[in-house]
Amino acid sequence: MRKVVLVAIFFVLLPAVAAEEPREDQSEFYFTRLIYRGNGMRGYRLGNDACGGGTWRTDSPDADAKYAWGIQRLTGLRVHYEPRNPVHSVGIMDPALFHHPFIYAVEPGSMDLNEEEAARLREYLLRGGFWHLDDFWGSCQLDNVLEQLHKVFPDREPQDIPLNHDVFHTFFDVDHIAQIPNISNARRIFRGDPNAHTWEQPGDRDPRILGIYDDHHRLMVVITYNSDLGDAWEWLDDPEYPASVTTLAYREGIDFIMYSMTH
């Protein structure tokens, strides 16, 4: 008799299990900021260039919210977005790091990695992760970024990525490397300031996009040096920020994302 009762209960519960609602979060992509520590070099100068940088929160939350909307609109990807908390971030030592194949570090000119953090990032990248470093300017900040990357990969040097590489043609075709200015410089140019310029540090003004490859020539790290893609994402609706520059920044950023998801 007991077996009959248990079987009856099973069949009563079965329709409820089969009709269970799907998970609310059906996201295909998370724009994830990397949380890092700084080394306190703000204000220090090397030659004509200032060293230092901002924090991992720079440009948030507006850049995150607008960029997530842009990625979803332009690609059709279901992008994770919480209106009340649009900044999705992860620490280097957080186990959740390995749940997110794409991470973004803004203003890493003063980033400071210890050995444990460098080893964790090395493991993350060699296991298929992708890291975009953006918005740092001048030779002093570049030297610090290269020093931190050397901790992660002592045997791999960043190289300029040629424009015929897949990363520039995965979704959009990017055929030139332009300097993406910060909002202050963009407004000065728009307003006709004769002394306005797109660069930030006078000692090294040219924009470059560099990368670090794994043993199979997959890009693991993309570095947008002497450019500020984050400001272009954040200020896309500002009438004084040039639409042509915003368009290029979205194209570059989305190409990096699509490359990370397909290679």
Identify the pLDDT of residue 45.
Answer: 82
What does the pLDDT average to over 30-51?
87
pLDDT at 206 > cutoff 50: yes
pTM for the full predicted model:
0.89
CA distance 257 to 262: 9
What does the pLDDT average to over 161-183?
97
CA distance 211 to 149: 11
248 CB-near residues (< 8 Å, 6+ apart): 174, 178, 180, 232
Q: What is the pLDDT of residues 48-66, one digit of tens each?
A: 898 888 899 999 999 999 9
Whether domain 27-262 has CATH 2.40.50.140: the reply is no
Q: Where are the domains of the chain?
A: 27-262
What does the pLDDT average to over 67-71?
95
CA distance 222 to 213: 9
pLDDT-derived band at 262, boundaries 50, 70, 90: very high
What does the pLDDT average to over 68-82?
93
User: Three-state secondary structure along the chain?
Assistant: CHHHHHHHHHHHHHHHHHCCCCCCCCCCECCEEEECCECCCCCCEECCEECCCCCCCCCCCHHHHHHHHHHHHHHCCCECCCCCCCCEEEECCCHHHHHCCEEEEECHHHECCCHHHHHHHHHHHHCCCEEEEECCCHHHHHHHHHHHHHHHCCCCCCEECCCCCHHHCCCCCCCCCCCCCCHHHHHHHHCCCCCCCCCCCCCCCCCEEEEEECCCCCEEEEEEECCCHHHHHHCCCCCCCCHHHHHHHHHHHHHHHHHHHHC
235 CB-near residues (< 8 Å, 6+ apart): 183, 186, 241, 246
| 117 closest CA partner among 97, 135, 134 | 97
